[in-house]
């Protein structure tokens, strides 16, 4: 894990090539004749007011091993603790090198307070402090990349049609990417860069076939409308409110997960040992594994999504548009929850095993949550 953290996806590529070459003589030949297809992934998260973003980051980090390469994480909430916590989580899961981007607005020191239900707790600042690490250690949120520049850098460096973007929060950064113009990274404008590099955009937001959901109205509805109504340069898959609302996860991670795991702690801080809906983990699971995961199917054959200026959305059944779909579960909600719990636990245990092997759990700086 530490080696991978140092070398990033170069190590992933070599590992994949070696894996292919070790199978057979024919496979040895493929090492020289074919490039292993790796799915490149960028996450855009509002990690702040719901812990399912942390669960989603765990899944993305855990998937980034043999088939997925996590290129960057952009944060679309302006709290400095959101960016710091993202960096901390990435570092814990062996991705200390992965760059973190931030919104163009000034960062704040806001912390979450559940003024709606007085039920949920704050976790971003606590995870950021106790698990400080990665490219943005505690106190260094201002070192984050400008999210739009980070998009343009990693997209310009990626193979054509190789990048999946998973949006699990607000659409501010993606709106900026869409509006961006040629720079030192690429002579292409945002729309052309997306067309060249993005294989699929996966958006958690809206309801299907129509709805009024937080990720579209909760920050700046006009930016959500800008992205959804103008993104025609790649296929899009939508993960709606109804997909994850009744898929409850986190309970097994809290009950059985490693004591020093930051995402387990985040769920405990946030939920007080209950579980949460799984909007973002399901979205990232689709982004990493697609329909091949066996959990999803498309809810429509054709048409496109439209967002109004107040953030509501409705599907437009235009049979000339064939590259936009909303997702439905192909399995029961309980089965989807069980699969998420399995993956969350497996990812957390793999990271803990690595830490124990290399450092010894009690020697890891900043991790003092053995009694959680």
d(CA 89, CA 147): 18
Using DSSP's 3-state secondary structure scheme, residue 289 falls into: helix
Site string for Ca ion, 143-182 (x = CB under 5 A): -------------------------xx-------------
Binders of Ca ion among 53-72, rule CB under 5 A? 53
Q: For Ca ion, which stretch binds (CB under 5 A), given 24-32, 191-199, 260-268, 280-288? A: 280-288
The half-sphere exposure of 42 on its side-chain side, counting CA atoms within 13 A, is: 31
Residue count of the chain, please give it: 372
Least Å from the CB of residue 103 to Ca ion: 14
Least Å from the CB of residue 215 to Ca ion: 7
> Which value, to the nearest 10 degrees, does the dihedral of the CA atoms of residues 97, 36, 1, 156 take?
0
Question: By CB under 5 A, how many residues form the interface with Ca ion?
Answer: 5
Give the pairing of strands 39-45 and 163-168: parallel
d(CA 251, CA 272): 10
Residue 8 corresponds to which tokens in the numbers above? 């990033």
Q: For Ca ion, which stretch binds (CB under 5 A), given 14-22, 112-120, 135-143, 275-283? A: 275-283
Residue 46 as a binder of Ca ion (CB under 5 A): the answer is yes
Q: For Ca ion, which stretch binds (CB under 5 A), given 47-55, 72-80, 112-120, 183-191? A: 47-55
Least Å from the CB of residue 164 to Ca ion: 17
CA angle 263, 288, 204 (to 5 degrees): 75
Residue with tokens 């990232």: 284
Other C-beta atoms lying within 10 Å of the C-beta of residue 245: 14
Least Å from the CB of residue 267 to Ca ion: 14
Q: For Ca ion, which stretch binds (CB under 5 A), given 50-58, 148-156, 224-232, 309-317? A: 50-58
Q: For Ca ion, which stretch binds (CB under 5 A), given 43-51, 140-148, 227-235, 291-299? A: 43-51
Least Å from the CB of residue 46 to Ca ion: 5
- Whichever of 280 and 355 has its CB closer to Ca ion, that residue is 280
Least Å from the CB of residue 323 to Ca ion: 24
- Whichever of 198 and 284 has its CB closer to Ca ion, that residue is 284
Per the CB < 8 A criterion, the answer to whether 147 and 76 are in contact is: yes
Binders of Ca ion among 236-265, rule CB under 5 A? none
d(CA 36, CA 10): 12
- Whichever of 172 and 280 has its CB closer to Ca ion, that residue is 280
Site string for Ca ion, 182-221 (x = CB under 5 A): ----------------------------------------
Which stretch of DSSP H or E encloses residue 256?
Answer: helix 251-256
- Whichever of 277 and 303 has its CB closer to Ca ion, that residue is 277
Least Å from the CB of residue 244 to Ca ion: 10
Per the CB < 8 A criterion, the answer to whether 67 and 39 are in contact is: yes
d(CA 229, CA 349): 41
Per the CB < 8 A criterion, the answer to whether 236 and 324 are in contact is: yes
Residue 283 corresponds to which tokens in the numbers above? 């979205």
Q: For Ca ion, which stretch binds (CB under 5 A), given 27-35, 38-46, 69-77, 344-352? A: 38-46
- Whichever of 203 and 268 has its CB closer to Ca ion, that residue is 203
Per the CB < 8 A criterion, the answer to whether 111 and 124 are in contact is: yes
* Chain positions contacting Ca ion, by CB under 5 A: 46, 53, 168-169, 280
């Amino acid at each position: 894990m530490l080696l991978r953290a140092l070398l990033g996806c170069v190590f992933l590529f070599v590992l994949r090539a070696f894996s292919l070459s070790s199978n057979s003589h024919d496979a040895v030949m493929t090492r020289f004749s074919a490039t292993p297809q790796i799915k490149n992934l960028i996450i855009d998260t509002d990690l702040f007011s719901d812990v399912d973003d942390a669960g989603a980051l765990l899944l993305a980090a855990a998937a980034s091993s043999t088939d997925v390469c996590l290129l960057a994480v952009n944060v679309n909430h302006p709290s400095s603790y959101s960016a710091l916590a993202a960096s901390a989580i990435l570092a814990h899961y062996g991705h200390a090198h992965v760059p973190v981007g931030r919104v163009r607005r000034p960062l704040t020191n806001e912390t979450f307070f559940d003024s709606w239900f007085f039920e949920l707790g704050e976790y971003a600042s606590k995870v950021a402090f106790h698990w400080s690490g990665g490219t943005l250690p505690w106190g260094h949120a201002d070192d984050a990349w400008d999210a739009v520049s980070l998009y343009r850098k990693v997209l310009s460096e990626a193979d054509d049609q190789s990048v999946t973007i998973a949006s699990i929060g607000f659409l501010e950064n993606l709106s900026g990417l869409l509006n961006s113009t040629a720079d030192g990274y690429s002579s292409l404008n945002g729309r052309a860069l997306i067309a060249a590099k993005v294989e699929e955009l996966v958006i958690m937001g809206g309801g299907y076939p129509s709805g009024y959901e937080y990720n579209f109205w909760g920050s700046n509805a006009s930016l959500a409308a800008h992205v959804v109504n103008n993104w025609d340069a790649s296929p899009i898959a939508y993960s709606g409110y109804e997909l994850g609302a009744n898929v409850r996860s986190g309970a097994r991670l809290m009950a059985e997960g490693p004591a020093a795991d930051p995402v387990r702690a985040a769920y405990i801080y946030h939920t007080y040992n209950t579980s949460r809906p799984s909007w973002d983990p399901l979205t990232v699971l689709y982004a990493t594994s697609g329909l091949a995961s066996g959990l999803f199917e498309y809810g429509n054959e054709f048409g496109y999504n439209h967002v109004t200026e107040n953030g509501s959305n409705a599907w437009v059944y235009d049979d000339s548009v064939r590259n936009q779909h909303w997702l439905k579960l192909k399995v029961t909600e309980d089965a989807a929850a069980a699969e998420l719990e399995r993956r969350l636990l497996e990812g957390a245990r793999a990271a803990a095993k690595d830490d124990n092997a290399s450092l010894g759990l009690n020697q890891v700086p900043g991790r003092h949550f053995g009694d959680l």
